[in-house]
C-alpha cells in the first residue's frame, strides 16, 4: 500500500514538473497576447511635411510628438518629464525619436532647453521643428483629437505616432469618459509613468514581433544556408 502511494506521489510530482511549466508558459503567452498591439486611434493623418530640405520625417519612425508653444521655457517641465521617463528609457531603439513643434522665433529657447535635456544623456533623437503658428495649427488639427492649441501654440499632451504616421493610444482608458485616450498629459508625471511608459513598450513589442515574423518568413523562403549550398 505504501509502495503504491509512493509511486502515485512520484507520478504527480513528475507531472507537475513537466506539465506545470508548460501550462504557466501558455498562460503567460495568452495574457501577453492581449497586449500585443496598441490601438490605432486615427489612421487618416497625412504624411506631414514641413520643409523639403529637412531630412527629418515622421514616416518610418516611432514618434513622440509635442507642441510646447511660445512659452517654451515655462513649459519645459513637460519635456523634462518625458525625457526622464520615456526618452532615456527607449531612445536606443531603432527609429525612435522625439519631435517638438515650436513657433518660429523660439530657436534660442530650444537651444537652452536642449542643453538642459542633454545634461545626462544623448539627445540626438530630440528634434525641434520651427513653423508659423498657422502651420503648427494645421499639423495639430491633422491629428483629429478633441484637444486644442492655446494662443501660444501649446498643448499639454504628448502624442504617439507609429511608423505609418497613425495616432496610437487607448480605447479603454479608465480616466476618459468615452475610454478614448488620444494623448498623454505630459504635465502629469503620474500619467507618463503609469500609462505612457506601458503603451510605448507595447508599441515597440509590436514592431519587434513583426520583425521576428518577417525573419521567419525569409528563412522559410530560403532555408538553405551558404554552408548547405557548398
Q: What does the domain layout of the chain look like in residue ranges?
A: 40-215
pLDDT of residue 31: 42
pLDDT at 101 over 70: yes
pLDDT at 33 over 50: no
Cα 97 from Cα 63, distance rounded (Å): 5
pLDDT at 96 over 50: yes
What class is the 40-215 domain?
A: alpha beta
pLDDT at 26 over 80: no
Task: Express each pLDDT in 159-186 by its tens digit.
Answer: 999 999 999 999 999 988 899 999 999 9
pLDDT of residue 19: 66
Cα 53 from Cα 56, distance rounded (Å): 9
Q: Whole-number mean pLDDT of the chain? A: 84
pLDDT at 220 over 90: no
154 pLDDT tier (thresholds 50, 70, 90): very high
Do residues 185 and 196 touch, judged by C-beta distance below 8 A? Answer: no
pLDDT of residue 210: 82
Identify the residue with better confidence: 45 or 167: 167
Q: Phi first, then psi: what are they for 78, rounded to 5°? A: -55, -50
CB neighbour list of residue 185: distance below 8 Å, 6 or more residues apart? 156, 157, 191, 192
pTM of the model: 0.78
9 pLDDT tier (thresholds 50, 70, 90): low
Q: How many CB atoms lie within 10 A of CB 100?
A: 24
pLDDT at 30 over 60: no
pLDDT at 62 over 90: yes
pLDDT at 44 over 60: yes
The enclosing H or E element of 98 equals strand 96-103
Do residues 143 and 159 touch, judged by C-beta distance below 8 A? Answer: yes
Amino acid at each position: 500500500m505504501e509502495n503504491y502511494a509512493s509511486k502515485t506521489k512520484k507520478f504527480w510530482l513528475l507531472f507537475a514538473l513537466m506539465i506545470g511549466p508548460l501550462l504557466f508558459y501558455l498562460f503567460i503567452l495568452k495574457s501577453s497576447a492581449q497586449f500585443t498591439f496598441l490601438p490605432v486611434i486615427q489612421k487618416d493623418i497625412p504624411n506631414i511635411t514641413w520643409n523639403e530640405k529637412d531630412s527629418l520625417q515622421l514616416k518610418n519612425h516611432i514618434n513622440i510628438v509635442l507642441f510646447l508653444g511660445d512659452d517654451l521655457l515655462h513649459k519645459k517641465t513637460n519635456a523634462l518629464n518625458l525625457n526622464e521617463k520615456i526618452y532615456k528609457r527607449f531612445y536606443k531603439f531603432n527609429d525612435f525619436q522625439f519631435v517638438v513643434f515650436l513657433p518660429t522665433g523660439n530657436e534660442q529657447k530650444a537651444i537652452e532647453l536642449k542643453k538642459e535635456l542633454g545634461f545626462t544623456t544623448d539627445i540626438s533623437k530630440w528634434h525641434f521643428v520651427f513653423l508659423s503658428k498657422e502651420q503648427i495649427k494645421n499639423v495639430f488639427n491633422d491629428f483629429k483629437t478633441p484637444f486644442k492649441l492655446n494662443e501660444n501654440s501649446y498643448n499639454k499632451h504628448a502624442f504617439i505616432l507609429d511608423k505609418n504616421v497613425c495616432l496610437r493610444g487607448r480605447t479603454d482608458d479608465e480616466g476618459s469618459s468615452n475610454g478614448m485616450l488620444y494623448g498623454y498629459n505630459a504635465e502629469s508625471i503620474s500619467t507618463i509613468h503609469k500609462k505612457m511608459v506601458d503603451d510605448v513598450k507595447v508599441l515597440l513589442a509590436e514592431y519587434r514581433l513583426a520583425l521576428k515574423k518577417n525573419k521567419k518568413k525569409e528563412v522559410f523562403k530560403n532555408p538553405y544556408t551558404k554552408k548547405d549550398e557548398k
